[in-house]
Structures are given as C-alpha cells and as structure tokens.
Structure 1
Amino acid sequence: MNYFILSQDERITNAVKPVGIAQVIKKELLTIERMEELEELERQFPVLEKGEMVYTDLIEKPIMLISDAVKQLVEKYVPNMPFKAVVLTDMPKLMQTLYWLVIPPRVRCLSTQTEFHLDGTLKKLVIDEQLAAPYSFFQIEGIKEQFIVVNIELAESILRRDFRGIRLQKIQTEGRWNDILSVGK
C-alpha cells in the first residue's frame, strides 16, 4: 500500500499564520494522552495581518491545524480521531475561521531501511507497510519530525476535493506489497 506525508504547500506564500498559538499550545501537549489538558487552553487566536491572506485547508506551523472540511473527511476514515476546535480571528476584517487541532496516533512502523543523520533527523524514511496497514491517518513513532501520514485511500479522497494548500509526498515502503510487485516484474 502507498502512504503519503500530508503537509502545507509552501508555494502559497501568503497563507494565513496564527499568532501566539505556539506559546499556549506547547508541543509536549500534542499527544493523545494529554488531549484533556488542551481542553482547558485558549481556543481563539489572532492571525498575522499581512495584506490579502489565503486560508489554506492545512496550516503546518507553528502547529498542525486542518480546516473543517478536511476534518469532516478525516472523520469518515477515522471516526474516533480526537480533535480540538481552534478559531482564527482576523480583527480588522471582523472574520473568524474554524480550524481543528488534530493529534493522530503514533504508530511504530519504521522499517529497518530507514536512515538517520548523526543529529537524529531523517535521512531516508521507509515505513513497514504491514505495521502501518491498520491506520489511515497517523504519525510515525521513533522520529524527531512531526509528520502526519495518510494512506492511499485518504490521499486520493483529498485529491478529489477542492482543497487549498495541501501537499502529499509519497513515502517509500517495504513489505508485502513491494515483494509482490518485485516478483511480478
């Protein structure tokens, strides 16, 4: 099976940027086990004012936020996925936009073929598709990077919709499907 890293399309240079969210929602809180602690935190954040802004369907930094439309799609594939509402506020335009903080499960699916740099960052990512197979939307355990990974069914569903600012990057896999393809050549 094919898997893809879900990320923000960096070609959209005027994408909206939330201000102050990283100071309130710390990265160490972004685990399923600590989701309840997030409920008590601020839910509304201003956006950086800089001319005409594009509200993309995925905001990757400072923390990953997805639009309401993407959330509804993810829920079809993973009905029990925990989400936290976050409202981005553009005060000069008197506009509020609903986004969702999502914390996918961390899955131990690294292949032994994965390679790391000396500082522990990824050099070459390879996932074991048999370990990842039960999941449609997840993070990879055992790496420093905060990637959200989607399987091919969810990736195709994302591509069929008119989402803005989402990029999908294929991940190399090892496992049963690659073995079958190799034998069939």
Structure 2
Amino acid sequence: MRYFILSQDGRISDAVEPMGVTQIITKERMKEEYRHELEELTLQFPIRETNKCEYIDFIERPVPLASDKLKSILTTYDPHLYVKWVIVADRKRTRQEKYWLFIPPCVECLSDRSEFHKNGTSKRLVIDERKVGSQPVFTIAGIRESYILVNLAVAESVLRRGMLGIRFTRVETEAR
C-alpha cells in the first residue's frame, strides 16, 4: 500500500487562519484520554483579518481542521475517526464556516530504516506497512513532527473531488 502525508498547500497565501486555537485546544486535549474535555466545549475561533480569505478544505496548523467535504471522505474510510465541529468566524465580513477538528489514531509504524537529524526531526521517513495494518488515516508515533498520513485510496478520493488547499507527499514504505 502507498501512503501520503496530508498537508496544507502552502502556495495559497490567503488561506483562512483561525486565531486563539491553542489556548483552548491544548496538546493534552488532543490525547485520547482527555478528549472528553473537548466534547464539553463549543469551539468558535476568529480568523486573522486579511484583505482576502480563501476557505480551503484542510487547515493544517495549529490543529488539523477539515471542511465538510474532506471530513466526509475521512470518516467514510475511517468511521471511528474522532471529529468535533468547529466554527471559524470572519467578524469583519460576518461570515462563519463549519470545520471539523479531527484527531487520527497514533500508530507505532516507524521503520528501522528511518533516519533523523541531530535535533530529532525526520531526515528520511520510512514506515512499516505491516505495522499500519488497515488504518486509512493516522499519525506516526515516535517522531517529533505531527504528520497526518492517509492511504492511497483516501488520497485518490480527495483528489477526485478537486478540493482546495490540499497537498500530498508520498512516504517511503517497507514491507517485510
């Protein structure tokens, strides 16, 4: 199986940018044992004011946010994927858009062939297909970066729908 890093397309310079997210959605709340705290919250965030805002289908940072179209695909392939609705508000233009915070499962799938820089960041990322199993959307345990990976079927499904602001980068795999 082929896997790809799902990321925000950096070429879209006027992509919508939610503000104040990390004050509410902390790293601890992103962990499975604290997700119940997220369920109790109503999540609405203002956006950074700019002349033009492009509402892309995937906002990578500070937390992964998916449009309705992207969320629909992700949950079709992984019905157990944790999702929570979030409102992104442009007060200047009185516009609100619904996005979905999603938290993929973390999988121990790093291959021994992976290489790292001295500061601990990935130099060469290699995942072991056998350890991934049938998981269509996931993050990788044991690395500093918080990459979201999807399998080929998910990537193709997203690409067929012409979504805005999404980029895929193929990841090296090993199957023993």
TM-score in terms of structure 2 length: 0.96
Measured against aligned partners, the alpha-carbon deviations of 1:30-62 in whole angstroms (never above 9, x if no partner) come to 122221111223411101110111001000111
Instruction: Specify every segment of 5 or more residues in structure 1 that has no aligned partner in the other structure, as ranges.
Output: 177-185
Aligned match of 1:117: 117
Instruction: Specify every segment of 5 or more residues in structure 2 that has no aligned partner in the other structure, as ranges.
Output: none
Aligned match of 2:135: 135
Aligned match of 2:38: 38
Aligned match of 1:174: 174
Aligned match of 1:149: 149
Q: Matched residues in 2 for 1:32 and 1:66: separation?
A: 19
Aligned match of 2:6: 6
Q: Matched residues in 1 for 2:127 and 2:101: separation?
A: 25
What is the SS of the residue equivalent to 2:23? helix
What is the SS of the residue equivalent to 1:28? coil
User: More displaced, 57-66 or 9-18?
Assistant: 57-66
1:89 aligns with 2:92: no
Aligned match of 1:181: none
User: More displaced, 80-89 or 25-34?
Assistant: 25-34
Percent of counterpart pairs with the same letter? 48
Q: Matched residues in 1 for 2:21 and 2:155: separation?
A: 28
What is the SS of the residue equivalent to 1:48? coil
- Ranges of 4+ aligned residues in structure 1 off by more than 4 Å: none
What is the SS of the residue equivalent to 1:113? coil
1:133 Cα offset (Å): 2.9
1:53 aligns with 2:53: yes
Aligned residues: 176
Structure number having the greater helix percentage? 1
Q: Matched residues in 1 for 2:28 and 2:119: separation?
A: 20
1:64 Cα offset (Å): 1.2
What is the SS of the residue equivalent to 2:28? helix
1:147 Cα offset (Å): 0.6
CA RMSD of aligned residues (A): 1.0
Aligned match of 1:72: 72
Measured against aligned partners, the alpha-carbon deviations of 1:62-114 in whole angstroms (never above 9, x if no partner) come to 11111111001111101121111110011121111000111100001000000
Letter in 2 for 1:111: S
Do the aligned partners of 1:16 and 1:47 also contact (CA within 8 Å) in 2?
yes
